[in-house]
Chain A
Amino acid sequence: MPLEAFKTSAPLTMGVELELQLVSLSDLDLIDASPDMLDLLSRRPFPGNVVPEITESMIEISTDVQTGHDGLLAQLRQIRDALVAAGDRLNVGVCGGGTHPFQQWSERKIFSKPRFKEVSQLYGYLAKQFTIFGQHIHVGCASADDAMFLLHSLNRYVPHFIALAAASPFVQRRDTLFNSARLNSVFAFPLSGRAPFTLSWHEFERDYFASMERTGIVKSMKDFYWDIRPKPEYGTIELRVCDTPLTVERAAGLAGYLQALCRCLLERSEAPPAESDYLVYNYNRFQACRFGLDGTLVHPKTYEAISLREDILSTLRRLEHHAGATGATQALAHIYQVTHEGSDASYLRRQYKERGSSEGMVEAAIARFRDQDSA
């Protein structure tokens, strides 16, 4: 099946998908509750969309297409409230975080749906280990070439999103020393990483996708697990590196930051992206995963070493007037606050220390997700 035509969409519109954890309130371990949750949620109209994910202890929600941060946040809050209310009736806690700190991957159940069963057949234990939770942000593009331009221009900013969203410090009851351990699980997949370099949709379609399809390795864009991938049927690019944050406020903040950043990049005032930018890409990505906001980046053009936190702060300053235009001022204020107070990963580590156990950490994550005013 050839790649479908890139459907253009209103530029800079956005949509957010969140993969959320379903936790038993009895023992705070993951619970295979998605069939029951979906059944209960289907009884009344859901604000947005809710679908199953690969294992039964995950659930994925998505917003409608939104033009601004405020509308996005309002809908995410409605979605959250619907989920929390349903969870309360089923003894299920809903929370963010990129990994569950002590679940056993071998206990997970694959959701009964043909595609998930196929993926599980192909990838074996990787599929169950894929019980990790990410936030995907879509940004609308006026044309397919704009999409390719944005996708590659963002390469230098990918570490920002990793560090700001990082919320997966623990795996199997142990502190991994990473701020986002989740991305290590994504990297195990053969078709993960970054998209091949080309700024032309036509070239991408003809030279890359068609050839890959002939090899028999891929059938659709869904088979690629890239950090950023084009989504022709929506007319968007999709940023996939963020851990699901502990609050919907942060999820909306990250989306607003990306929206303002894309608006700025589309002015094309920076040096255009090049294949050689990717020399430092994996190293920078590692720095962000491992050290979070304290990581050090190598600038892809100048090879100068820069502090990740400083780089975000200087970007925020550059984005100020764009934020005014897209209505993302509140989002940027939120991001600014994160650079000072630390990411969700540091919050989780603090909770672990205070409460003394992984279970306590999960309890804190559940409380944080449902709490209206925590931001």
Chain B
Amino acid sequence: MWSELAPRVTDLAWPVVLALAWLVGESGHRWTGLPRISLYGTVGFALGHTQLGLLPPPGDGSMMLLANVAFGLILFEFGYRINLRWLRTNPWIGITGVLEAAATFAAVYAVAVSFGMPLLAALLLASLAMSTSPAAIMRVVNEQRSSGQVTERALHLTAVNCVLAVFVFKAVVGFWTFQTSGSVWQAVSNSLIVLAVSVGLGAAFGVGVPALLRGFGRLTQDATVAFAIAVVLLVAVAHTFKVSPVLAALTFGFVARHRRLTLNQAQRNFGALGDLLAVVLFVFVAATIEWPRVWTGFGLALALIAVRLASKGIVVGALARVSGVSWRKGVLTGLALTPISVFVILLLEQTRHLGIDLVDQLAPLAAATLLLELIGPIVTQRALMLAGESAEREEA
């Protein structure tokens, strides 16, 4: 009897965990005001296979694809909200982004080396630590319905540091491949070609989809479904050809926004679809983190978090006045950039097929990710609230 039921019970694991995560997210958010995504992550991590073990070990299967789709939707929306022209009208935004990422890279690298980490691993760790999680920022901004300079700058600086992180990361991976395999071709294809194909794919969608919509003459209508389907397709294609769905979706958003003659109306967050997939994404990502690894890397992780917080806060704060906001808002913007996580994990998962198990090499990152996955969104949320940019809470 039990043996017959067992496989079916396994099938139940994900839906049950998702329902649980949603329940904890909603009630926790109501009672404590904490960001929902932190709570989803907590549930995902607690029930992960090396912890309470309700969830099976994450494979390369359909959940991974679903998480990628969820992330793709958020990244598309994120790219769609970035105004590249701002980087030109106020060059200090771009300069802040580059300096902030560079400072974080240098600081994290120095800390990693001083902890005795091998050179290449330290470089990879530093490149990943530059990035802020666009998913966490987007979700918190939308949850808080915040708007103002801290919000805008956090979004734009995140875009800058993510793009830098992907490029530096891929460059280091290329270098690593060259060192281990000795093959230039393999090194290039693992880095440059993957980057180029991902960007090209995203750009093609960014040009094609709005053109298609215009062809339908539906410009004034809601384009949410069209964009959502395009993102699903794009992510699946990227997944199949082993290029970066992350970069492709981000490029799609950028290009769709900047290449259009007119903006199409798309529902913020993809409405209920976005909310649903956010639960999947944040539970899944936290469930990939394994406690033994977290424990191994705990010390370095704390140091990493501290220097990252400091470098972002100090650089963005120091350039605040010259870039047009108060010192206070500058420091708050720097703090709002705290979340890491989703982005990093998905990047790492994708390098598994290269035969480099970076997840093992970078144990401190797992710990840092776990902490920042749970705490990062709270820091962002508080920063937005302190800046007075989140909407007043609805009176009950």
- A interface residues (Cβ-Cβ under 8 A, vs B): 24-28, 31-33, 35-36, 39-40, 56, 86, 88-91, 107, 109-110, 112, 173, 355-360, 363
Contact = CB atoms under 8 A, between A and B. Distances in A.
A18 B90 CA distance: 26
A40 B149 CA distance: 11
Contact of B391 (A35, A40, A107, A363): A107
Contacts of A28: 263
Contacts of A26: 81-83, 86, 152, 155
23 contacts: A25-B83, A26-B81, A26-B83, A26-B86, A27-B263, A33-B148, A33-B149, A39-B326, A40-B324, A40-B325, A56-B148, A88-B90, A89-B89, A89-B90, A89-B324, A90-B90, A90-B152, A91-B156, A356-B214, A357-B220, A357-B262, A357-B263, A357-B265
A35 B148 contact: yes
A86 B90 CA distance: 10
B350 interface: no
B351 interface: no
Task: Tell which of B155, B220, B323 has the most Cβ of chain A within 10 Å.
Answer: B220
A355 B261 contact: yes
A91 B262 contact: no
A39 B155 CA distance: 21
B349 interface: no
B219 A356 contact: yes
A91 B90 contact: yes
Contacts of B152: 24, 26, 31, 90-91
A323 to B, nearest CB: 39
B71 to A, nearest CB: 20
A27 B81 contact: yes
Contacts of A35: 148, 388
Interface residues of B, number: 33
B89 A32 contact: no
B353 interface: no
Contacts of B323: 89
B222 to A, nearest CB: 10
Contacts of A91: 83, 86, 89-90, 152, 156
Contacts of A356: 214, 219-220, 261-262
Task: Tell which of A31, A86, A89 has the most Cβ of chain B within 10 Å.
Answer: A89
A355 B90 CA distance: 27
Interface in B251-280: 261-265
Contacts of A110: 392
B148 A32 contact: yes
A100 B149 CA distance: 20
B147 interface: yes
A35 B325 CA distance: 10
4 closest Cβ pairs, A-B complex: A359-B263, A356-B219, A89-B324, A360-B262
Nearest to A39: B326
B148 A31 contact: yes
A132 to B, nearest CB: 19
A86 B89 CA distance: 10
Nearest to A358: B265
B38 to A, nearest CB: 24
B86 A32 contact: no
Contacts of B388: 35, 112
